[in-house]
């Protein structure tokens, strides 16, 4: 494929932050394109936890991940952003008139400004060692459809937010939930931990899953206590390994961006060290950074408004309130 697309603003990453940036750029009258290596918008939410409830988005006491993505797509739709999905941004080059981004597929995008909102970059799950020797099915690293595990004995491995979120979401519909963590302390949010401990889920700490048993389909799992070496064989038809993900900025590491611990450094205007390149969302870092979807929304608006003055030097950073627009 060798196609050239011209736009005012190219958003690299079509997760929640990128989708909100597309809306805000349209509100400011910009032609916007979004490029993402995934085949659909939504980023990590659509890929990993579309049915999980999210509780910290302003205005929504609770909202499913995919419902939030759908609402963001609908919000941006009147401005007709150009979705370039299934394309990984590979190279970035600048000249006096703008920026050229070339994708691995051969797609070329000419833009006046780039806004990077690639979440954690390319992500891959940390493997469950016990699954290495198991050739059957039943092991997964995220749950796109909760209903797939309804009525099953589910084993969740991990002690972070994802592990406890899956336990909370699956407990009402699974036959049983067992959560195993190798330590006696958890990284998950305290409120979620309390909810799981008060539920019907069994939580086993200071233990590891050492083997998965079954012929073609997992049927049981051996759990070994780290303190006494005792072995328990649990009936299991599904294993959710929530051990975290390894993030990689991929080709962006060669774009000349100033970075800190696999994150892009920005200033208070969401500018990177490269002219005409802004960034927002989980991919950025600065002193006091808090990784929340809500934070990403504010960063997206800040980035777009400041990018507007780069595209049109006569424009103002503050556009006025949307409620003032007829």
**Count of other CB atoms within 10 angstroms of residue 79:** 17
Compute the half-sphere exposure of residue 223: CA atoms within 13 Å on the CB side of its CA: 21
282 known ligand binder: yes
Distance CA 7, CA 36 (A): 16
pLDDT of res. 247: 66
Same domain? For 142 and 291 the reply is: no
Distance CA 159, CA 189 (A): 10
323 known ligand binder: yes
To which residue do tokens 């302003």 refer?
Answer: 58
Same domain? For 90 and 157 the reply is: no
Same domain? For 233 and 254 the reply is: no
**Count of other CB atoms within 10 angstroms of residue 160:** 15
DSSP string, 163-206: HHHHHHHHTTTSSEEEEE-SSSS--S-HHHHHHHHTSS-EEE-S
Residues in the chain: 326
Sign (positive or negative) of CA dihedral 184, 186, 190, 192: negative
**Count of other CB atoms within 10 angstroms of residue 275:** 11
Read off the tokens for 277.
Answer: 């390149």
Mean pLDDT across the chain? 92
pTM of the model: 0.75
6 known ligand binder: no
Same domain? For 89 and 39 the reply is: yes
Which neighbouring-strand residues pair with 224?
Answer: 208, 231
218, 241, 264 — which closes off a domain? Answer: 241
241, 276, 301 — which closes off a domain? Answer: 241
44 known ligand binder: yes
Same domain? For 227 and 142 the reply is: yes
Same domain? For 300 and 286 the reply is: yes
212, 241, 270 — which closes off a domain? Answer: 241
To which residue do tokens 């969740």 refer?
Answer: 156
Sheet holding 231-235, edge to edge: 207-213, 220-225, 231-235
Distance CA 65, CA 79 (A): 23
Same domain? For 14 and 113 the reply is: yes
CA distances from 279 to 121, 161, 223 (A): 12, 25, 44
For 277, the domain range is 4-123+245-324
Same domain? For 148 and 117 the reply is: no
49 known ligand binder: yes
The tens digit of pLDDT for each residue in 193-252 reads 999 999 999 999 999 999 999 999 999 999 999 999 999 999 999 999 999 877 667 788
Same domain? For 266 and 312 the reply is: yes
Same domain? For 161 and 103 the reply is: no
89 known ligand binder: yes
Residue ranges in the chain modelled with pLDDT below 70: 1-2, 121-124, 247-248, 325-326
Distance CA 145, CA 135 (A): 23
Same domain? For 136 and 109 the reply is: no
Same domain? For 38 and 66 the reply is: yes
141 known ligand binder: no
Please count the structural domains in the chain: 2
Specify the CATH number for the domain of residue 114: 3.50.50.60
**Count of other CB atoms within 10 angstroms of residue 106:** 12
């Amino acid at each position: 494929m060798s196609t050239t697309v011209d736009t005012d603003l190219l958003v690299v990453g079509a997760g929640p932050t990128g989708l909100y940036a597309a809306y805000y750029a349209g509100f400011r009258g910009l032609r916007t394109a979004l490029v993402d290596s995934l085949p659909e918008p939504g980023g990590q939410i659509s890929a990993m936890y579309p049915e999980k409830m999210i509780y910290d988005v302003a205005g929504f006491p609770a909202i499913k991940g995919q419902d939030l993505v759908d609402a963001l797509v609908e919000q941006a739709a009147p401005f007709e952003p150009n979705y370039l999905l299934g394309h990984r941004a590979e190279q970035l080059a600048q000249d006096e008139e703008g920026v050229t981004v070339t994708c691995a597929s051969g797609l070329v995008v000419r833009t006046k400004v780039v806004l990077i909102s690639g979440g954690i970059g390319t992500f891959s799950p940390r493997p469950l060692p016990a699954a290495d020797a198991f050739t059957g099915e039943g092991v997964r690293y995220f749950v796109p459809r909760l209903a797939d595990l309804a009525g099953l004995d589910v084993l969740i491995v991990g002690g972070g937010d994802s592990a406890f979120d899956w336990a909370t979401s699956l407990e009402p519909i699974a036959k049983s939930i067992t959560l195993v963590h190798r330590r006696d302390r958890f990284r998950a949010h305290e409120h979620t931990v309390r909810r799981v401990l008060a539920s019907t889920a069994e939580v086993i700490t200071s233990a590891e899953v050492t083997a998965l048993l079954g012929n073609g389909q997992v049927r049981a799992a051996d759990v070994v206590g780290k303190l006494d070496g005792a072995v328990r064989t649990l009936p299991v038809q599904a294993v959710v390994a929530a051990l975290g993900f390894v993030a990689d900025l991929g080709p962006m590491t060669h774009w000349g961006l100033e970075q800190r611990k696999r994150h892009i450094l920005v200033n208070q205007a969401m500018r990177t060290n490269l002219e005409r390149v802004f960034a927002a969302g989980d991919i950025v870092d600065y002193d006091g950074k808090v990784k929340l979807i809500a934070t990403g929304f504010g960063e997206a608006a800040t980035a777009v408004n400041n990018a507007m003055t780069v595209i049109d030097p006569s424009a103002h950073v503050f556009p006025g309130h949307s409620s003032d627009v007829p």
